[in-house]
Amino acid sequence: MPVKNGSQYVERINSSLPDVRIAGERLTGAISEHQAFKGVMATQAAMYDMQHDERWQASLCYSSPLSSEPVGLSFLQPKTKRDLAARRKMMQVWAEAHHGFLGRAPDYMNTAVMAFAAAARLLEEDNPQFAENLQHYYEYCRENDITLSHVFIQPKAARFPPSLARLIEEPAAARVTDKNKDGIVVCGAFLMDTQGVTSDEIFVYPAPFFSESSQDSPYAFAFAVPSRHPGVRFVCRESFVGGDSAYNYPLSSRYDEMDTLVIFDHALIPWNRVFICGNESMLSRLFDGSHFHTHAGMQIMCKNIAKTEFVLGTLEMLIETSGLQGYGQIVEKVTEVIVALETLKALQLAAEKGAALDRWGSMLPDRKPLLAANVYFPQIYPRLVEIVQLIGASSLIMIPDEKDFDTDLDDSLNLYLKGIGLNGKANVQLSRLAWDLSVSAFGGRQTVYERFFFGNVHTVSSRLYNGYEHGRELLMKRVQHFLS
């Protein structure tokens, strides 16, 4: 089928009926009706509707090489710089639709599964069937516009080294407990599956484990299954949706992506959905060889630019309605945001301009600017949030409820809480936006999420340092030549 629309997305998720636990209860009824999920589902439904809107379809879709039907452009393996630019424009359109607040918008995993499938020939060394499985799965996702979530990380208890793991009676690491003619049996848990409940399928790819042998390791596997798959259970964190009111909770009511712990309880994974099994070295080789971080980095860059633009727009409104334009310390703070925005745009441009074909025939962006951005944005985003707090000040605290303006205090509130060009109700609405961005539970989760988006500071720094090896060597030789 061609690209789906919003109602088809909602209908698919509602009909899937996965095993979801939230606030101590098992979720029953339509997922799209539950307060924790309906906002983000409505947002993504609107994004899928854009694929059928004549204003956007040419920017969001391309013709399937199998059916000639329109399919999502984020599934496209870019083979030219023109393809790369088209993918970037598509991702910008969706990023601006959610203003960068969806860390796991559908185009993220569309890009990931494309990258893995492009490098599927690597798997032929291990098992030709696994390579074929991955390529077929990519085509299945593309042709059916599958919404994917993913898990890479296991709970801390699962990451103990072997010397400590032996002290634990029941191993916590996810593992293959059996193999039979039908598939592999998997037990264990993963975090964090962002949007697992609001996606069609889940792509499971654990990081390499502390195995004593890479030969037939029970901890080495990769596969994908529907979210409703038997033996799969989702345990949700507390919802950060404050309420249904878009006035009171302008961001969380639209963009709160639920994070879940995913438990595999003797889940039987069919062989045709298995991509790696037992070969631990292949986990690293496919991850690195597919250039996952580079391809996904372009999608992330679009998200981060849109998010920074939204922060800047919010700050400008706060400044204008408070009459703070002439204050030097205010201007100084806002220029930090402008510098961040222009830095991200420059890194994006450099990555695209420096693109070159890789061994799989993909037009691969220059990874160095993207790796630099992966280090830079987690560092700068908490500062952007702090600037919102510093400029918003007391207006982030004195935020009456929308219902207060429907009482006999309406005239007083509009008088005493007004801003320049805004009555009290409109000014409080702006303050509530800044609060949801920088103070609320939703805003706090966004800040922590950005800090660890592509790994902790050591991981992303090491990735950049090691990825810059050639450049470092050239510069060192230049200095050595100078000294000689």
Here the tokens at position 267 are 């889940």
Ligand-binding annotation for 294, yes or no, is no
Q: Residue 222 forms beta bridges with which residues?
A: 276
Question: In whole angstroms, what is the distance from residue 370 CA to residue 301 CA?
Answer: 8
Closest CA to 207 of 198, 225, 220: 220
Q: Is 24 left (phi over 0), alpha (psi -120 to 50) or beta?
A: left
314 and 354 in contact (C-beta within 8 Å)? no
For tokens 């979801």, the residue is 20
Q: Is 391 left (phi over 0), alpha (psi -120 to 50) or beta?
A: alpha
Closest CA to 377 of 315, 469, 452, 295: 452
CA distances in angstroms from 320 to 97, 255, 315, 457, listed in the order given: 24, 26, 9, 36
Here the tokens at position 320 are 């204008």
Task: Write a three-state SS string for the chain.
Answer: CCCCCHHHHHHHHHHHCCEEEECCEECCCCHHHCHHHHHHHHHHHHHHHHCCCCCCHHHHEEECCCCCCEEEHHHCCCCCHHHHHHHHHHHHHHHHHHCCCCCCCHHHHHHHHHHHHHCHHHHHHCCHHHHHHHHHHHHHHHHHCCCEEEECCCCHHHHCCHHHHCCCCCCCCCEEEEEECCEEEEEEEEEEEECCCCCCEEEECCCCCCCCCCCCCCCCEEEEEECCCCCEEEEECCCCCCCCCCCCCCCHHHHCCCEEEEEEEEEEEEHHHEEEECCHHHHHHHHHHCCHHHHHHHHHHHHHHHHHHHHHHHHHHHHHHHCCCCCHHHHHHHHHHHHHHHHHHHHHHHHHHCCEECCCCCEECCHHHHHHHHHHHHHHHHHHHHHHHHHHHHHHCCCCCHHHHHCCCHHHHHHHCCECCECHHHHHHHHHHHHHHHCCHHHHHHHHHHHCCCCCHHHHHHHHHHHCHHHHHHHHHHHHHHHC
Binding residues for FAD: 194
Binding site residues, as ranges? 194
